[in-house]
Structure 1
Amino acid sequence: MLTITAPSKSVPLQQVKLDDPFWSQYVKLVREVVIPYQYEALHDRIPGVEPSHAIANLRIAAGRAQGEFGGFVFQDSDLAKWMEAAAYSIAVHPDADLENKVDEIIDMIEEAQQPDGYFNTYFTIKEPQKRWTNLTDCHELYCAGHLMEAAVAYYQATGKRKLLDIVCRFADYIDAVFGPEEGKIHGFDGHQEIELALVKLYEVTGEERYLKLSQYFIDQRGTEPHFFLEEWERRGRTSFFSRTSAPPHLDYYQSHIPVREQREAVGHSVRAVYMYTAMADLAARTNDAQLLEACQALWRNIVHKQMYVTGGIGSTHHGEAFTFDYDLPNDTVYSETCASIGLIFFARRMLQLFPNSEYADVMERALYNTVIGSMAKDGRHFFYVNPLEVWPDASRKNPGKHHIKPVRPGWFACACCPPNVARLMSSLGEYVYTSSSDTLFTHLYIGGEANVNFGDVPVKVVQNSDLPWGSSVSMTVQPEQETEWTIAVRIPGWSRGQAVLRVNGEEMDLNAVVKDGYAYLRRVWADGDTLSLELSTAVQVLRSHPHLRANAGKVAIQRGPIVYCLESVDHGAPVSSILLASEPNLKAQFHPDLLGGATVIEGEGWLEESDDWKDDLYRASAKKLRPVTIKAIPYYLWGNRGENEMAVWIREAPALT
């Protein structure tokens, strides 16, 4: 039976100061551009983009303005995620003006909160008599969860309790409404989120009821009689979106069977990974063996059968959902930004349960490729969907590809993704390290300083990294006094076991110190001790499992943690006519003038000639090929040079005999 012997915890955000040549530019962009831009978007002050209505709704609910509710029923969540992002930013970079902006919003939330503790602008403004009558569709607990996360982050950043007290009153009210007792609602939300938020609220308040309520929502899900079906019957077989509707598809909500019995990721991908995150949280605190087994099985299913090479998940726009094993189309993919962020949440929790490098590898893959790729270099345009193949004409004219955007929009009516990126980037320092009773784990190689304790001894750890373009990492340990401790450093999977690890210049035998992808170095650490890690960033040509039909005969290019793609701006259209040579002689070279600087991979390939086809659509003669130089850029940079075609997976020419 699975047990957790010594779970680790993240080093608090305020104890980590990032100073990294790659990642600091993104943290700064979020602080200086993204957060202010999104504040304006939430106030409906960005010309030419979809209105948010979030602040307008809040002003009406607070009694400061008159009007009708605008936007989606879950519009409150966008504002809550922005507040959480602002809180993380303030924690590492104090900003009195930003803090005042958040405080003004908190004042309005307090004014809009109902006497019993309830807060939701839609049901306050539009349908106050219908609270909790459609949990399947209306996201009430989801919105509550995001507000709880914002409150915890803001309290930890500033020490101010007003928002924390607001959400505690709200959580107390929810606890009085939901639960197994007679007279309470024996149900849960259609969109998981509150489950992981309640664990955070429990951690900061010590209130056991919040942990038990989270566990109740997890335990109740998928049990019979099925709550969503009963609720649908009570509503007269209607949905929020239609007067008549089919019964809810229970697997879409991960409520088809009890969570401890689930072994395959199904349904809406964001809801799924948010729920798995909460399951891992609860398993860590209750040592629930069945939850642990479910988490591990669900992780394996996602990562080994349902994840894109870019760290994206959710292969269909129908329900923003998982489909089935190995069904990973590139041109109709969904791969919602929020889903990759949720996968990162799940990976981080699994790392805290079991330090295995696969969890950190996936976390890193999603960060370097999908998450930062979803945001334009200007910080003002964002992808909701992250495709691996784009044909702009098809995006405009094929109804099955309408969700695939060739350029990033400025905002969305459903704008869950942009503030989600902001809150993740602002809290990035929390993902670098975790610590247990006797070990400091380094999961991500991001430069900066961390102030931690080795037992009772304060220690500063200074990390330098030249990833992703270089291959070197170093750490300097500065304890206040000599102390015995273990430092565990990750050997990334993309390094393929080719790594050189040294402590104070002495090379370590990796075979003797590596377990589950981490090198464990136990010694008496003294001020100035150093460890260095030299990794392999050789260019790799990746191929897919034979069952992954979309990639049959195709390859992808990766270097270090970065996945690459081809754009027609470098090759002409169509990029689908390009084949990678069987011996492509791929070479990596840094281009300082490419969108702020990036390593480009060039090599040999073939291009199918199209000029001589004229009006023929089909013909029997062989295609003509001519040699071309292939230029692959990092996937995260695609779409920053105007509208053009893009492909991650390209055909591979057969070997010459």
Structure 2
Amino acid sequence: MKTMGAKEIGIRQIHVDDGFWNKRIRNAVEKVVPYQWRVLNDREPGAEPSHAIRNFKIAAGMEEGEFYGYQFQDSDVAKWIEAASYSLIYEDSPEIRAALDEAIGIIEKAQQADGYLDTHYILKKPDRKWKEIAHGHELYCTGHMLEAAVAYRAVTGDDRLLRVMEKNVELIRSVFGSEEGKLDSYPGHEEIELALMKAYHATGEKKYLELADYFVENRGTRPAFLEEERFLELSRENRWLEADYHQAHARIRDQKTAEGHAVRAMYFYTGAADVALEKQDPTLKAALDTLWDNVTGKRMYLTGGVGSQGEGERFTIDYDLPNDTCYTETCAAIGLAMWALRMLKLDPDAKYADVMERALYNNVLSGISEDGEHYFYVNPLMLKPDVARYRKDHESVEPERVKWFGCACCPPNVIRTLCGLGGYVYTQDGDAVYQHLYVGNKAQFFTSQGEASLSCESSMPWEGNASVTYHGPSGMTLYLRVPSYAENFSVKRNGEPLKPEKEKGYVRLTPQDGDVFTVHDGTLRNGSCKV
């Protein structure tokens, strides 16, 4: 089994068709993507005002008005574009295509001549561009919009938005760097690092890799943004907003514990893992393993939730995991799943897939209602509504899911995850394919011997059975995950029991055309118990 070499199969090559996930994805595609478009356009009664599309229209000169919302309001539109793009894989809706075309057209007009694109600073603080890196979110918004551009091109083949973001990235490259006259700094809120790596993989252009590498390796150096007036002001007022809040208290190889804002940390580690894979850097991989062990062994809830404290939305200390006051933001669990997927590409070890599965089925899904139109930002494990209304340390807790938030990072993040779920199922390393999740699906991929396909039918999580059918040439290797909770995992080939080799929590198989592998995890369900 190779290490530091795997990559995911392209998103259009995987179509999820699963008894557990189908209704959630179908609802996201048919109802939630249109619902969120209405919210972003302030056309949904009862939802918190968004103003996100209108901010872009004002910046584009299409309407008059003032900026409204948080400084990262643009990112809500970006995540919606990504979700809507993925939704076209399941239903090629003319209405959603038209909405995407409209959104991208507005963004094109809002972009300034030099490539700058951030409506908060265009409309509200034009004299403060690149002067509030710690808390300004310019690079964060760029990251999400760059992810959206890559997704839109991957699904539609249209590079309009990617051209916009390429111009934006060129501006950032001219502003940031270690050369004389540039800002030698890094993002206050990580995100652009992982987005740059997506752009690099999509285009092959080294400039994206180089900028991602610079931001990852530079984090923790001083002074960077640590001498900005706004950073100093907030860190003096609130000790939870010091350098560790931004994972800027040390260089990544010197960080031994997960600190600070949980979403920032997850996005940072995700981007760093992408860079480690591309550079084939074992020291960066080792640093990430140290952080992984700390997060998943000492600072993670059984639901895959991370970030136990509401103040600063952050990590605290080992084993500080209260049930009623835990924060466990939905976005942080999504970030954990993203990081786990990158670690699987670095090193296909089932321990990463176990956590990815745990987060996706629990803390991510708890953030959205069955109808897809109500959301949790915070996901405590225990809630007493009457208590939550009166306690200061419960002020972020909603007794019931709500239609939208003023700070609405989570709702579009959940939907882009649901619509893009296929991207979490497999990774590929040459002629080896790893199946990490037993999610029903049909997938096509390419080997050195030619095109091949896998289809999976799964009754998990309700029953511990799945079947995987292979069609294609000989010479490929299939690795099927053995979940950590599997008490007596078994696998058969065409009905005949096998005892295959097991490597890092995966069974190693050499399929032939037409082979059907059936797996059973041996775990008792449906109220059964062992005595």
Q: TM-score, normalised by structure 2?
A: 0.97
User: Equivalences for 1:435-446 in 2 at 5 Å?
Assistant: 435-446=428-439
> Within 1, Cα distance between the matches of 2:112 and 2:253?
36
1:503 to 464, 480, 493: 493
- Contact 2:66 2:124 (8 Å CA) reproduced: yes
- Contact 2:490 2:522 (8 Å CA) reproduced: no
The alpha carbon displacement at 1:48 in A equals 2.1
> Within 1, Cα distance between the matches of 2:422 and 2:223?
41
The 3-state SS of whatever aligns with 2:427 is strand
1:362 aligns with 2:359: no
Deviations 1:424-449 (A, max 9, x none): 11111111111111211111011121
- Contact 2:441 2:456 (8 Å CA) reproduced: yes
> Within 2, Cα distance between the matches of 1:454 and 1:114?
44
1:17 aligns with 2:15: yes
The 3-state SS of whatever aligns with 1:461 is strand
Give the equivalent residue in structure 2 for 1:452. 445
Query: Any gaps of 5 or more consecutive residues in structure 1?
Result: 540-558, 560-586, 589-600, 604-654
> Within 1, Cα distance between the matches of 2:475 and 2:240?
60
User: Equivalences for 1:268-287 in 2 at 5 Å?
Assistant: 268-287=261-280
- Contact 2:55 2:68 (8 Å CA) reproduced: yes
1:474 to 461, 467, 480: 467
> Within 1, Cα distance between the matches of 2:272 and 2:231?
33
Give the equivalent residue in structure 1 for 2:507. 519
Deviations 1:165-208 (A, max 9, x none): 00000000100000010000011111000111111111222221
- Contact 2:4 2:280 (8 Å CA) reproduced: no
User: Equivalences for 1:250-265 in 2 at 5 Å?
Assistant: 250-265=243-258
The alpha carbon displacement at 1:98 in A equals 0.6
1:536 aligns with 2:522: yes
% identical aligned pairs: 44
The alpha carbon displacement at 1:258 in A equals 0.5
Give the equivalent residue in structure 2 for 1:229. 226
- Contact 1:4 1:284 (8 Å CA) reproduced: no
User: Equivalences for 1:396-407 in 2 at 5 Å?
Assistant: 396-407=389-400
Give the equivalent residue in structure 2 for 1:170. 168
Q: 1:113 to 1:309 in 2, by over 3 A?
A: same
Give the equivalent residue in structure 2 for 1:187. 185
Deviations 1:345-403 (A, max 9, x none): 00000011111111111111111111112111111000001110010111111122122
The alpha carbon displacement at 1:80 in A equals 0.5
Q: Which amino acid aligns with 1:168?
A: E
- Contact 2:3 2:348 (8 Å CA) reproduced: no
Give the equivalent residue in structure 1 for 2:387. 394
The alpha carbon displacement at 1:273 in A equals 0.6
Q: 1:237 to 1:355 in 2, by over 3 A?
A: closer
Give the equivalent residue in structure 2 for 1:142. 140
- Contact 1:229 1:248 (8 Å CA) reproduced: no
Q: Which amino acid aligns with 1:313?
A: V
Q: TM-score, normalised by structure 1?
A: 0.78
The 3-state SS of whatever aligns with 1:377 is coil
Q: Which amino acid aligns with 1:29?
A: N
- Contact 1:237 1:246 (8 Å CA) reproduced: no
Q: 1:399 to 1:246 in 2, by over 3 A?
A: closer
Give the equivalent residue in structure 1 for 2:485. 494
Give the equivalent residue in structure 2 for 1:326. 319
Normalized per residue, which structure has more strand? 1
RMSD: 2.0
Deviations 1:235-292 (A, max 9, x none): 69545x99x8879501111000001211210100000010000110000000112211
The alpha carbon displacement at 1:456 in A equals 2.5
Give the equivalent residue in structure 2 for 1:44. 42
- Contact 1:305 1:325 (8 Å CA) reproduced: yes
Q: Which amino acid aligns with 1:425?
A: L
Q: Which amino acid aligns with 2:121?
A: F
1:32 to 20, 30, 33: 30
The 3-state SS of whatever aligns with 1:484 is coil
The 3-state SS of whatever aligns with 1:9 is coil
Give the equivalent residue in structure 2 for 1:54. 52
> Within 2, Cα distance between the matches of 1:205 and 1:463?
31
- Contact 2:134 2:187 (8 Å CA) reproduced: yes
The alpha carbon displacement at 1:522 in A equals 2.3
- Contact 1:154 1:160 (8 Å CA) reproduced: yes
> Within 2, Cα distance between the matches of 1:178 and 1:196?
17
User: Equivalences for 1:329-340 in 2 at 5 Å?
Assistant: 329-340=322-333
- Contact 1:237 1:247 (8 Å CA) reproduced: no
> Within 2, Cα distance between the matches of 1:448 and 1:463?
5
> Within 1, Cα distance between the matches of 2:179 and 2:128?
22
The alpha carbon displacement at 1:457 in A equals 2.1
- Contact 1:178 1:187 (8 Å CA) reproduced: yes
The alpha carbon displacement at 1:231 in A equals 1.8
Q: Which amino acid aligns with 2:287?
A: A
The 3-state SS of whatever aligns with 1:389 is coil
- Contact 1:395 1:406 (8 Å CA) reproduced: yes
- Contact 1:341 1:421 (8 Å CA) reproduced: yes
> Within 2, Cα distance between the matches of 1:387 and 1:309?
12
> Within 2, Cα distance between the matches of 1:245 and 1:442?
45
- Contact 2:240 2:311 (8 Å CA) reproduced: no
The 3-state SS of whatever aligns with 2:442 is strand
Give the equivalent residue in structure 2 for 1:650. none
The 3-state SS of whatever aligns with 1:477 is strand
Q: 1:245 to 1:506 in 2, by over 3 A?
A: closer
The 3-state SS of whatever aligns with 2:88 is helix
Query: Any gaps of 5 or more consecutive residues in structure 2?
Result: none
The alpha carbon displacement at 1:226 in A equals 3.0
> Within 2, Cα distance between the matches of 1:214 and 1:196?
7
The 3-state SS of whatever aligns with 1:385 is coil
2:286 to 289, 293, 313: 293
- Contact 1:91 1:158 (8 Å CA) reproduced: no
Q: What is the number of residues matched between the two proteins? A: 531
> Within 1, Cα distance between the matches of 2:92 and 2:72?
30
- Contact 2:258 2:265 (8 Å CA) reproduced: yes
Give the equivalent residue in structure 2 for 1:621. none
Give the equivalent residue in structure 2 for 1:422. 415
The 3-state SS of whatever aligns with 2:115 is coil
Q: Which amino acid aligns with 1:8?
A: A
The 3-state SS of whatever aligns with 2:485 is helix
> Within 2, Cα distance between the matches of 1:327 and 1:519?
36
Q: 1:177 to 1:493 in 2, by over 3 A?
A: same
1:372 aligns with 2:360: no
Normalized per residue, which structure has more helix? 2
Q: 1:128 to 1:268 in 2, by over 3 A?
A: same
The alpha carbon displacement at 1:460 in A equals 2.0
Q: 1:99 to 1:123 in 2, by over 3 A?
A: same
> Within 1, Cα distance between the matches of 2:57 and 2:238?
34
The 3-state SS of whatever aligns with 1:77 is helix
